[in-house]
Protein backbone atom coordinates (compact mmCIF):
# COMPACT_ATOMS: atom_id res chain seq x y z
CA UNK A 1 0.00 0.00 0.00
CA UNK A 2 1.09 3.57 -0.68
CA UNK A 3 2.83 5.00 2.41
CA UNK A 4 0.59 8.10 2.56
CA UNK A 5 -2.55 5.93 2.51
CA UNK A 6 -1.10 3.60 5.13
CA UNK A 7 -0.24 6.44 7.51
CA UNK A 8 -3.55 8.25 6.95
CA UNK A 9 -5.22 5.05 8.17
CA UNK A 10 -2.82 4.93 11.13
CA UNK A 11 -3.78 8.52 12.06
CA UNK A 12 -7.44 7.50 11.97
CA UNK A 13 -6.64 4.72 14.43
CA UNK A 14 -5.13 7.21 16.87
CA UNK A 15 -1.50 6.49 16.00
CA UNK A 16 1.16 9.18 15.66
CA UNK A 17 2.97 9.83 12.37
CA UNK A 18 6.15 11.85 11.80
CA UNK A 19 5.96 13.74 8.51
CA UNK A 20 7.97 16.39 6.65
CA UNK A 21 6.87 19.96 6.11
CA UNK A 22 8.73 22.76 4.35
CA UNK A 23 9.82 24.17 7.74
CA UNK A 24 10.69 21.23 10.01
CA UNK A 25 9.44 17.67 10.58
CA UNK A 26 6.18 17.38 12.53
CA UNK A 27 4.96 14.81 15.05
CA UNK A 28 1.41 14.37 13.78
CA UNK A 29 -1.85 13.14 15.25
CA UNK A 30 -5.56 13.39 14.48
CA UNK A 31 -6.37 16.94 15.66
CA UNK A 32 -9.88 15.86 16.65
CA UNK A 33 -8.77 12.95 18.83
CA UNK A 34 -8.04 14.02 22.43
CA UNK A 35 -6.30 10.77 23.30
CA UNK A 36 -3.97 10.95 20.33
CA UNK A 37 -3.14 14.57 21.18
CA UNK A 38 -2.42 13.64 24.79
CA UNK A 39 -0.04 11.03 23.43
CA UNK A 40 1.77 13.73 21.40
CA UNK A 41 2.31 15.79 24.57
CA UNK A 42 3.45 12.70 26.42
CA UNK A 43 5.87 11.43 23.76
CA UNK A 44 7.35 14.89 23.26
CA UNK A 45 7.54 15.68 26.96
CA UNK A 46 5.74 18.94 26.33
CA UNK A 47 3.72 20.79 28.99
CA UNK A 48 0.02 20.55 28.17
CA UNK A 49 -0.59 24.31 28.43
CA UNK A 50 1.43 24.81 25.25
CA UNK A 51 -0.98 24.63 22.31
CA UNK A 52 -0.30 22.75 19.07
CA UNK A 53 -0.59 23.78 15.43
CA UNK A 54 -3.25 21.97 13.39
CA UNK A 55 -2.26 21.46 9.76
CA UNK A 56 -4.93 21.81 7.09
CA UNK A 57 -5.00 21.43 3.30
CA UNK A 58 -6.46 24.90 2.79
CA UNK A 59 -8.87 27.57 4.00
CA UNK A 60 -12.00 25.47 3.44
CA UNK A 61 -10.86 22.71 5.75
CA UNK A 62 -9.82 25.30 8.35
CA UNK A 63 -13.26 26.95 8.27
CA UNK A 64 -14.86 23.75 9.51
CA UNK A 65 -13.04 24.27 12.83
CA UNK A 66 -12.06 27.92 13.24
CA UNK A 67 -13.22 31.34 12.07
CA UNK A 68 -11.22 33.92 10.20
CA UNK A 69 -11.28 37.65 10.74
CA UNK A 70 -10.78 39.71 7.59
CA UNK A 71 -7.03 40.22 7.99
CA UNK A 72 -6.30 36.57 8.85
CA UNK A 73 -8.32 35.50 5.83
CA UNK A 74 -6.29 37.77 3.56
CA UNK A 75 -3.07 36.40 5.08
CA UNK A 76 -4.17 32.80 4.55
CA UNK A 77 -5.16 33.52 0.95
CA UNK A 78 -1.79 35.10 0.27
CA UNK A 79 0.62 32.90 2.21
CA UNK A 80 -0.97 29.42 2.24
CA UNK A 81 0.31 26.90 1.54
CA UNK A 82 3.36 28.25 3.35
CA UNK A 83 5.21 28.80 6.63
CA UNK A 84 2.55 30.96 8.29
CA UNK A 85 0.54 29.84 11.33
CA UNK A 86 -2.58 31.84 12.18
CA UNK A 87 -3.99 31.81 15.70
CA UNK A 88 -7.76 31.83 15.14
CA UNK A 89 -10.93 31.61 17.24
CA UNK A 90 -12.44 28.13 17.40
CA UNK A 91 -15.96 28.03 16.00
CA UNK A 92 -18.73 27.13 18.42
CA UNK A 93 -18.80 23.33 18.72
CA UNK A 94 -15.48 22.92 16.88
CA UNK A 95 -14.48 19.27 16.86
CA UNK A 96 -10.79 20.12 17.25
CA UNK A 97 -9.65 18.47 20.48
CA UNK A 98 -9.46 21.02 23.30
CA UNK A 99 -5.92 19.82 23.95
CA UNK A 100 -4.66 21.35 20.69
CA UNK A 101 -5.81 24.71 22.04
CA UNK A 102 -4.24 24.22 25.46
CA UNK A 103 -7.92 24.32 26.55
CA UNK A 104 -8.25 27.92 25.33
CA UNK A 105 -10.55 29.56 22.77
CA UNK A 106 -8.09 29.74 19.89
CA UNK A 107 -6.25 27.26 17.66
CA UNK A 108 -3.04 27.65 15.68
CA UNK A 109 -3.70 26.66 12.05
CA UNK A 110 -1.40 26.34 9.08
CA UNK A 111 -1.38 24.88 5.60
CA UNK A 112 2.11 23.49 4.91
CA UNK A 113 3.77 23.86 1.51
CA UNK A 114 5.06 20.31 1.22
CA UNK A 115 3.60 17.75 -1.17
CA UNK A 116 3.90 14.87 1.32
CA UNK A 117 2.34 16.87 4.18
CA UNK A 118 -0.49 18.06 1.95
CA UNK A 119 -0.96 14.55 0.54
CA UNK A 120 -1.27 13.13 4.06
CA UNK A 121 -3.77 15.79 5.19
CA UNK A 122 -5.89 15.37 2.04
CA UNK A 123 -5.88 11.59 2.37
CA UNK A 124 -6.77 11.84 6.07
CA UNK A 125 -9.49 14.42 5.34
CA UNK A 126 -9.11 16.23 8.67
CA UNK A 127 -6.56 18.52 10.34
CA UNK A 128 -3.36 16.95 11.62
CA UNK A 129 -2.04 18.47 14.84
CA UNK A 130 1.74 18.49 14.86
CA UNK A 131 4.40 20.12 16.96
CA UNK A 132 7.95 19.92 15.68
CA UNK A 133 9.14 16.29 15.91
CA UNK A 134 11.71 16.80 18.65
CA UNK A 135 11.83 16.17 22.36
CA UNK A 136 10.59 19.35 24.06
CA UNK A 137 13.25 22.04 24.33
CA UNK A 138 15.59 20.44 21.77
CA UNK A 139 16.38 21.40 18.20
CA UNK A 140 13.72 20.77 15.58
CA UNK A 141 14.64 18.10 13.00
CA UNK A 142 15.06 19.33 9.42
CA UNK A 143 15.73 15.91 7.87
CA UNK A 144 14.73 12.36 8.75
CA UNK A 145 18.28 11.52 9.86
CA UNK A 146 18.04 14.18 12.57
CA UNK A 147 15.06 12.54 14.26
CA UNK A 148 15.86 11.64 17.87
CA UNK A 149 16.23 7.85 18.37
CA UNK A 150 14.23 8.15 21.62
CA UNK A 151 11.34 9.61 19.65
CA UNK A 152 11.68 7.03 16.86
CA UNK A 153 11.48 4.28 19.44
CA UNK A 154 8.06 5.53 20.46
CA UNK A 155 6.86 6.59 16.99
CA UNK A 156 8.01 4.24 14.23
CA UNK A 157 5.67 5.76 11.60
CA UNK A 158 7.91 8.10 9.59
CA UNK A 159 7.41 9.68 6.19
CA UNK A 160 10.82 10.68 4.84
CA UNK A 161 10.65 13.77 2.64
CA UNK A 162 14.35 14.61 2.54
CA UNK A 163 15.71 17.89 3.89
CA UNK A 164 13.26 20.67 4.76
CA UNK A 165 13.47 23.56 2.39
CA UNK A 166 12.90 26.37 4.93
CA UNK A 167 14.62 24.98 8.03
CA UNK A 168 13.12 27.19 10.77
CA UNK A 169 9.59 26.90 12.12
CA UNK A 170 6.65 28.87 10.77
CA UNK A 171 5.88 32.48 11.65
CA UNK A 172 3.04 32.47 14.21
CA UNK A 173 0.64 35.41 13.82
CA UNK A 174 -2.29 36.52 15.95
CA UNK A 175 -4.75 39.17 14.80
CA UNK A 176 -6.84 40.81 17.51
CA UNK A 177 -9.12 43.80 16.94
CA UNK A 178 -7.20 44.61 13.77
CA UNK A 179 -3.79 44.50 15.45
CA UNK A 180 -1.39 42.02 13.91
CA UNK A 181 1.16 40.47 16.28
CA UNK A 182 3.94 38.04 15.49
CA UNK A 183 4.03 35.57 18.41
CA UNK A 184 6.99 33.68 16.93
CA UNK A 185 9.25 35.06 14.17
CA UNK A 186 9.79 32.75 11.20
CA UNK A 187 10.54 32.59 7.50
CA UNK A 188 7.77 35.07 6.67
CA UNK A 189 9.16 38.26 8.13
CA UNK A 190 7.70 41.32 9.84
CA UNK A 191 8.71 43.35 6.75
CA UNK A 192 6.92 40.85 4.42
CA UNK A 193 3.73 41.10 6.47
CA UNK A 194 3.86 44.89 6.74
CA UNK A 195 4.40 45.27 3.01
CA UNK A 196 1.56 42.90 2.17
CA UNK A 197 -0.90 44.37 4.69
CA UNK A 198 0.20 47.98 4.32
CA UNK A 199 0.12 48.42 8.09
CA UNK A 200 2.28 48.08 11.19
CA UNK A 201 2.87 44.59 12.55
CA UNK A 202 4.05 44.10 16.14
CA UNK A 203 6.75 41.60 17.09
CA UNK A 204 5.77 40.31 20.54
CA UNK A 205 8.40 40.41 23.25
CA UNK A 206 8.94 37.51 25.60
CA UNK A 207 7.37 37.48 29.00
CA UNK A 208 9.04 34.56 30.63
CA UNK A 209 6.34 34.11 33.27
CA UNK A 210 3.43 33.89 30.86
CA UNK A 211 4.60 32.49 27.55
CA UNK A 212 2.16 32.97 24.73
CA UNK A 213 4.02 30.44 22.61
CA UNK A 214 6.32 27.72 23.92
CA UNK A 215 8.75 28.56 21.13
CA UNK A 216 9.14 31.85 22.98
CA UNK A 217 10.51 30.31 26.17
CA UNK A 218 13.95 31.52 27.16
CA UNK A 219 15.74 28.22 26.71
CA UNK A 220 14.55 26.24 23.72
CA UNK A 221 15.95 24.64 20.58
CA UNK A 222 18.97 23.77 22.72
CA UNK A 223 21.91 21.52 21.83
CA UNK A 224 23.58 19.54 24.62
CA UNK A 225 26.91 21.31 24.24
CA UNK A 226 27.65 24.93 25.16
CA UNK A 227 26.69 27.28 22.36
CA UNK A 228 28.04 30.83 22.19
CA UNK A 229 26.51 33.30 19.75
CA UNK A 230 27.68 36.55 18.07
CA UNK A 231 31.26 35.27 18.16
CA UNK A 232 33.84 37.32 16.28
CA UNK A 233 36.84 35.36 17.52
CA UNK A 234 36.53 31.78 18.68
CA UNK A 235 38.27 30.39 21.74
CA UNK A 236 40.68 27.46 21.43
CA UNK A 237 38.12 24.93 22.70
CA UNK A 238 35.38 26.10 20.33
CA UNK A 239 34.32 24.98 16.86
CA UNK A 240 33.12 27.99 14.88
CA UNK A 241 30.04 27.98 12.66
CA UNK A 242 30.42 30.88 10.25
CA UNK A 243 28.22 32.99 8.02
CA UNK A 244 29.55 34.81 4.96
CA UNK A 245 33.15 35.04 3.84
CA UNK A 246 34.98 34.53 7.11
CA UNK A 247 37.43 31.91 8.35
CA UNK A 248 35.50 29.25 10.26
CA UNK A 249 35.20 25.48 10.73
CA UNK A 250 31.86 25.07 8.98
CA UNK A 251 29.83 27.67 7.09
CA UNK A 252 26.03 28.20 7.08
CA UNK A 253 26.20 30.21 3.87
CA UNK A 254 29.44 31.34 2.29
CA UNK A 255 27.60 33.78 0.06
CA UNK A 256 25.86 35.31 3.08
CA UNK A 257 22.38 34.17 2.04
CA UNK A 258 19.96 34.12 5.02
CA UNK A 259 17.58 31.58 3.42
CA UNK A 260 20.48 29.15 2.90
CA UNK A 261 21.57 29.87 6.46
CA UNK A 262 18.14 29.02 7.91
CA UNK A 263 18.02 25.81 5.82
CA UNK A 264 21.38 24.67 7.24
CA UNK A 265 21.08 26.01 10.78
CA UNK A 266 19.58 23.21 12.93
CA UNK A 267 21.26 20.41 10.99
CA UNK A 268 24.69 22.02 11.38
CA UNK A 269 24.30 22.60 15.12
CA UNK A 270 23.11 19.03 15.48
CA UNK A 271 26.10 17.67 13.51
CA UNK A 272 28.53 19.43 15.85
CA UNK A 273 26.50 18.44 18.90
CA UNK A 274 26.90 14.77 17.90
CA UNK A 275 30.56 15.03 16.90
CA UNK A 276 32.70 13.72 19.77
CA UNK A 277 35.69 15.81 18.67
CA UNK A 278 33.73 19.05 19.20
CA UNK A 279 33.84 20.46 22.73
CA UNK A 280 31.97 23.76 22.47
CA UNK A 281 30.09 25.42 19.64
CA UNK A 282 30.40 29.08 18.63
CA UNK A 283 28.46 30.94 15.93
CA UNK A 284 29.53 34.14 14.21
CA UNK A 285 27.06 37.07 14.04
CA UNK A 286 24.05 36.67 11.74
CA UNK A 287 22.49 39.90 10.41
CA UNK A 288 19.31 40.72 12.33
CA UNK A 289 16.96 41.56 9.47
CA UNK A 290 14.59 39.54 7.31
CA UNK A 291 14.79 35.82 8.18
CA UNK A 292 17.82 36.74 10.30
CA UNK A 293 15.35 37.83 13.02
CA UNK A 294 13.96 34.27 13.28
CA UNK A 295 17.46 32.77 13.09
CA UNK A 296 18.74 35.03 15.89
CA UNK A 297 15.61 34.31 17.93
CA UNK A 298 16.34 30.56 17.78
CA UNK A 299 20.07 31.04 18.40
CA UNK A 300 19.45 33.20 21.45
CA UNK A 301 17.27 30.51 23.00
CA UNK A 302 19.63 27.72 21.94
CA UNK A 303 22.48 29.48 23.72
CA UNK A 304 20.65 29.87 27.04
CA UNK A 305 21.56 27.61 29.91
CA UNK A 306 18.53 25.49 30.73
CA UNK A 307 18.58 26.32 34.46
CA UNK A 308 17.68 29.93 33.65
CA UNK A 309 14.28 29.26 32.14
CA UNK A 310 10.89 27.87 32.98
CA UNK A 311 11.29 25.34 30.19
CA UNK A 312 11.89 22.01 31.84
O1 LIG B 1 6.80 25.19 11.25
C2 LIG B 1 6.11 24.87 12.21
O3 LIG B 1 5.35 25.65 12.77
C4 LIG B 1 6.25 23.42 12.70
C5 LIG B 1 5.73 22.47 11.61
C6 LIG B 1 5.70 21.04 12.04
O7 LIG B 1 4.48 22.90 11.16
N8 LIG B 1 5.54 23.23 13.91
C9 LIG B 1 5.93 23.75 15.09
O10 LIG B 1 5.11 23.41 16.15
O11 LIG B 1 6.92 24.46 15.21
P12 LIG B 1 5.51 23.69 17.65
O13 LIG B 1 4.45 23.01 18.44
O14 LIG B 1 6.89 23.28 17.90
O15 LIG B 1 5.30 25.24 17.81
C16 LIG B 1 4.00 25.77 17.71
C17 LIG B 1 4.01 27.23 18.06
C18 LIG B 1 4.27 27.41 19.52
O19 LIG B 1 5.09 28.54 19.72
C20 LIG B 1 2.86 27.58 20.07
O21 LIG B 1 2.81 28.27 21.28
C22 LIG B 1 2.19 28.37 18.96
O23 LIG B 1 2.72 27.78 17.79
N24 LIG B 1 0.75 28.18 19.03
C25 LIG B 1 0.01 27.13 18.59
N26 LIG B 1 -1.30 27.30 18.87
C27 LIG B 1 -1.39 28.50 19.50
C28 LIG B 1 -2.47 29.23 20.07
N29 LIG B 1 -3.70 28.77 20.04
N30 LIG B 1 -2.18 30.41 20.67
C31 LIG B 1 -0.91 30.89 20.70
N32 LIG B 1 0.16 30.24 20.19
C33 LIG B 1 -0.08 29.06 19.60
MG1 LIG C 1 8.85 23.15 18.43
**158-170: pLDDT as tens digits:** 999 999 999 999 9
Could you tell me the distance, in angstroms and rounded to a whole number, from the CA of residue 108 to the centre of ligand 1? 6
> What is the overall mean pLDDT for the chain?
93
Q: How far is the C-alpha of 151 from the C-alpha of 133, rounded, in Å?
A: 8
Average pLDDT over residues 74-92: 98
Residue 208 has pLDDT above 60, yes or no: no
Average pLDDT over residues 242-253: 97
Query: Contacts by 196-199 with C-beta closer than 8 Å and gap 24+?
Result: 196/75, 196/78, 197/71, 197/74, 197/75
In ligand 1, the atom with minimum distance to the C-alpha of 53 is: 25
Could you tell me the distance, in angstroms and rounded to a whole number, from the CA of residue 216 to the centre of ligand 2? 10
If pLDDT is split at 50, 70 and 90, which confidence band does 233 have? very high
Average pLDDT over residues 190-197: 98
pLDDT score, position 307 = 45
Residue 312 has pLDDT above 70, yes or no: no
pLDDT score, position 221 = 72
Average pLDDT over residues 101-122: 97
Residue 145 has pLDDT above 90, yes or no: yes
Residues 6 or more apart in contact with residue 102 via CB below 8 angstroms: 48, 49, 50, 51
Average pLDDT over residues 137-141: 92
Which residues form the pocket of ligand 1, taking CB atoms under 6 Å from any ligand atom? 21, 23-24, 26, 50-53, 83, 85, 87, 101, 106-108, 110, 112, 130-132, 169-170, 172, 183-184, 212-215
In ligand 1, the atom with minimum distance to the C-alpha of 166 is: 1
Residue 216 has pLDDT above 60, yes or no: no
Average pLDDT over residues 197-206: 89
3-class DSSP assignment, residue 221: coil
Name 129's bridge partners: 29, 54
pLDDT score, position 310 = 35
pLDDT score, position 209 = 38
Give the total residue count for the chain.
Answer: 312
Return the ligand number nearest the Cα of 27. Answer: 1
If pLDDT is split at 50, 70 and 90, which confidence band does 245 have? very high
Average pLDDT over residues 212-224: 65
In the chain, % of residues over pLDDT 70: 93
Average pLDDT over residues 220-242: 92
If pLDDT is split at 50, 70 and 90, which confidence band does 306 have? low
If pLDDT is split at 50, 70 and 90, which confidence band does 309 have? very low
Average pLDDT over residues 108-134: 98
pLDDT score, position 219 = 58
Residues 6 or more apart in contact with residue 174 via CB below 8 angstroms: 86, 87, 106, 180, 181, 183, 212
Residue with the nearest Cα to atom 10 of ligand 1?
131
Q: Which of 151, 170, 127 is nearest to 18 (CA)?
A: 151
Mutate to test the pocket of ligand 1, among 132, 173, 175, 211 (most ligand atoms within 8 A of CB): 132
Amino acid sequence: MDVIKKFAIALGQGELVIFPTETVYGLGADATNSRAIQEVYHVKGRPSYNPLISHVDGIEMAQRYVQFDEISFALAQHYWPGPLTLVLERICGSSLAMEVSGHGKTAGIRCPAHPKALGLIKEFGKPIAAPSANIFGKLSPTCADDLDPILLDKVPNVIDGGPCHVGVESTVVYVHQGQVTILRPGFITQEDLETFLGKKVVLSTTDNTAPKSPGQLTSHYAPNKDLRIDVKEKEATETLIGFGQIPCDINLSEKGDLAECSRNLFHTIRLLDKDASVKKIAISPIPNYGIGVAINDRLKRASQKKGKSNDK
